[in-house]
Structure 1
């Protein structure tokens, strides 16, 4: 039976199938010059199917913006329209800015791609001393560490230094040199840029990329337009009760900034609907900022695409050397995933470059990257041999509708003059019957426990992990809850053989196993968190057990 999505004030219809595949994952302007009724029709239909409040698109061809257009609204239920200058969270497209910034400090002679990272961060330690001595700046940019962690998902108040400090406690998940998508490695690269340049990451990216490209609606930090009190500051953190969200949380409500949205379970009173569209709290995470926290507009991103398509030139001025641009766009490690498989007559991903993915689409060479963060989805794809690039930004959570990349490929078909039949379009829009958004409650949180579990009173107390810091187990209405900090809380649900499942509250209700440890006298001395989970993703970021020791 199909999942039904409740109609909201945006007036969108709700039947559809999910695309179920991950995809990549100023100047002379002729915006909207080319007729694109088929593009408009496709985007309108996809937005209605997926309840996407707003989308913004820009296309660059031969160093000109030939198409720039907004669709829908900045916030569901409000009249403010999206246009090509509306700012969105761009998620992991930020990684390409980070790599571009690194290329600039290489051009400055302050960093070498193949120099050890510890030359620039002497305090850095990985859990494997060999990796500490041999990991290079190139390994960070190309995701070749074999390491990622989940330092940012539970604990608020971090910064780049906290990720550097935590790296020593992360156990490798793959062989060094193998592709392992790593927010941790990207963040450490950001710290290399800071140490080499003498500027904060925000100031460097702003002064060397954002301002020279005239990106007037781009922000290196949410603090530019949101007060800190109105931000949730880790991935699974909730916003303190009573704080404003959406446009009401902006310092300037007239600012042209889109609002994060997600699909959440509908209430019992909303008959016939399983999910409804909801404005999500703004969030920021300083501990992984270079990995995914920039905001930008489609028109601003078009300037950035112009820089890359022109191999480092912008309006006749060289910002990055051609040699370093070739490095950024050249595959450094092979990837096996096919990120284009859902799109008929699609292509494949060949490798990860530095901040970019390389591949092909319908016989054409591509350099691309996707971006997903809570409430947003973005995609940039460039066709270097056609001197064309496409930017798509949306303000619906990437795990509710991973559709930005789909729009970019359909737009590519139009501007590359590749015919697409109506039947093909319908297949692209379709989703499987068993689709569920990220807000769906994990099955583990509704499982019936078997075996005797320790009582809430026995496990209550304070605990410490070198990797994740302090945590506390408290008793609420007779039941235990695991608190990483006041707004990052998980209910401990009895599971099998005396263990528990930590079921996090909030928009993304992640589930993690918890097993308590005992001394010889059968006294609880700690717990093991996330044991047995593998694979890096926001909902399942653990690939190692985290040991907590009881301290009180």
Structure 2
């Protein structure tokens, strides 16, 4: 590695040549070091270059208990990397003249509503696929993610999402939008989203270990277990996400071996193994930028302009056009990236969601192939992540120290009862196992509960049973000696904004 750095100092042209040796000479040690530094159990990576798979490998373990290794056929949730599959399917249907991306959503769902009537009248399939309806990023996801809501019920609740910005003006990442777009597919084909994705993409590409839906993932063979270090300094096993009610946004399970087929398809203009699967015009449609997501020079990476197509981001990177997406599920984060000008594709799948090594590795590989002077991207990102984690754990420790078994100012029974949020619906708060504790049951999530432990200063410690949702300090609202409501929040991984629940 020292020789590689020294070579890069001699000039960019020689650096590009020297960097190409990174994959052959240094990749294994770089990844092994990254696994240790980021407390990452396992990782799988594929690199496709010039029509050949040059890296296809697993590292670490898929289960920290059994120590079973990750390999190229280990299944992971790819989460939002599902979105480009949905965008591709709809672009294909437009090419076949089955629909137009500019069709109004109400053409297919006459009762569909957004928060305001003008947006409802205007919103198109394209708007849904490029996150430009005016809602905030992740808005509504605490209600939708892992919930018992049906796809139709989620679409119904979208009318309650009050936008934070004007329609079509700003980008706000929206999972329920992709669900809505994906549900247009059954309207024009008679097939469910999952059946159409399987028949038109997965089977033609020979992605035999890829599933459109995630239900039952824990029973599949050679599957990664999900872990997190969020709110802790230790790895915690977390439940598999239940994404099927948001399937067009996030439900696909895949492997790096199968994703190599997807990358070959992207890089060979819609062909796979010499056979045209889709016209190149379909792929081009997904890559056309529909909304700008950023136009300022990055301080860390050779990037300036960023935009979003139909399920994929686009950016410049050291003079090349790069397409990519990340995916975040509970316990698993991933990215898929391709650079047609260099005939380069990358996919990285991991099973700890609280780390940035999966992104550091992608940038490191882009640097290696696109002639960027060597910077250790993992070392560049690690200090900030460690500082943030340390501060979070210190804060949580200080909250736990304030739980001393004292009783709140009002009788504990004053806080119990049913509370309601207009988007989420009801939650039930009852007495807990301890005198200073309350128990929360979330009616929209069969497997999610939380405890509230009295601290002091009118503050309670909120701890979800699924650590993915987080640990927070919260307050009840009171009027005199009467409790009127409580504001709850979850991990920003789930949703940024808090939810206000009013006592019934």
**TM-score bucket of the superposed structures, by smaller chain:** 0.7 to 0.9
Tell me whether 386-395 or 217-226 shows the greater mean CA deviation.
217-226
Deviations 1:494-546 (A, max 9, x none): 6898576644233222437564476xx9765x535349x9xx93254326x54
Give 1:376 shift: 0.9
1:128 aligns to 2:113 (yes or no): no
* Alignment match of 1:196 (pick from 172, 180, 188): 188
Q: What corresponds to 2:241 in structure 1?
A: 283
Contact 1:157/1:286 (CA < 8 Å) preserved in 2? no
Separation of aligned partners in 1, 2:204 and 2:237: 33
Number of matched pairs: 470
Report the 3-state secondary structure (helix = DSSP H, G, I; strand = E; otherwise coil) of the residue aligned with 1:434: helix
1:431 aligns to 2:380 (yes or no): no
Q: What corresponds to 2:39 in structure 1?
A: 51
Contact 1:73/1:82 (CA < 8 Å) preserved in 2? yes
Report the 3-state secondary structure (helix = DSSP H, G, I; strand = E; otherwise coil) of the residue aligned with 1:110: coil
Report the 3-state secondary structure (helix = DSSP H, G, I; strand = E; otherwise coil) of the residue aligned with 1:320: coil
* Alignment match of 1:506 (pick from 428, 442, 466): 466
Separation of aligned partners in 2, 1:68 and 1:504: 38
Separation of aligned partners in 1, 2:123 and 2:378: 47
Q: What corresponds to 1:141 in structure 2?
A: 129
Give TM-score scaled by structure 1 length.
Answer: 0.76
Separation of aligned partners in 2, 1:155 and 1:372: 13
* Alignment match of 2:357 (pick from 383, 395, 403): 403
1:361 aligns to 2:317 (yes or no): yes
Which residues of structure 1 form unaligned runs of 5+? 1-32, 227-249, 267-274
Give 1:83 shift: 1.7
Q: 1:395 to 1:154 in 2, by over 3 A?
A: closer
Deviations 1:287-346 (A, max 9, x none): 32222221111121111122222332333443333333222111111112879644xx53
Give 1:409 shift: 1.9
Separation of aligned partners in 2, 1:498 and 1:203: 52
Separation of aligned partners in 2, 1:376 and 1:437: 22
Deviations 1:440-486 (A, max 9, x none): 5865955969x986443123122344421231111112332321045
1:538 aligns to 2:493 (yes or no): yes
1:330 aligns to 2:288 (yes or no): yes
* Alignment match of 2:225 (pick from 237, 243, 259): 259
Separation of aligned partners in 2, 1:415 and 1:294: 28
* Alignment match of 1:212 (pick from 204, 210, 213): 204
Which structure is higher in helix share?
2
Q: What corresponds to 1:394 in structure 2?
A: 350
Contact 2:357/2:378 (CA < 8 Å) preserved in 1? no
1:489 aligns to 2:429 (yes or no): no
Contact 1:152/1:287 (CA < 8 Å) preserved in 2? no
Report the 3-state secondary structure (helix = DSSP H, G, I; strand = E; otherwise coil) of the residue aligned with 1:412: helix
Give 1:374 shift: 1.1
Q: 1:377 to 1:225 in 2, by over 3 A?
A: closer
Deviations 1:395-437 (A, max 9, x none): 111xx2122121122123334455526xx46733642352318
Separation of aligned partners in 1, 2:279 and 2:201: 14
The root-mean-square deviation of aligned C-alpha atoms, in Å, is: 3.3
Separation of aligned partners in 1, 2:234 and 2:105: 46
Following superposition of structure 1 onto structure 2, how do residues 97-496 of structure 1 map, counting pairs within 5 Å? 97-147=85-135, 148-152=139-143, 156-177=147-168, 178-226=170-218, 250=219, 255-263=221-229, 275-336=233-294, 341-342=299-300, 345-397=301-353, 400-416=354-370, 418=372, 420=374, 424=376, 427-428=379-380, 430-432=382-384, 433-436=386-389, 440=393, 443=396, 454-476=410-432, 477-478=434-435, 479-485=437-443, 487-493=447-453
Q: What corresponds to 1:62 in structure 2?
A: 50
Separation of aligned partners in 1, 2:226 and 2:296: 28
Separation of aligned partners in 1, 2:328 and 2:104: 30
Q: 1:512 to 1:98 in 2, by over 3 A?
A: farther
Separation of aligned partners in 2, 1:438 and 1:307: 44
Tell me whether 96-105 or 193-202 shows the greater mean CA deviation.
193-202
Separation of aligned partners in 2, 1:515 and 1:45: 45
Separation of aligned partners in 2, 1:187 and 1:194: 12
Deviations 1:6-53 (A, max 9, x none): xxxxxxxxxxxxxxxxxxxxxxxxxxx996121112111111211222
Separation of aligned partners in 2, 1:123 and 1:517: 39
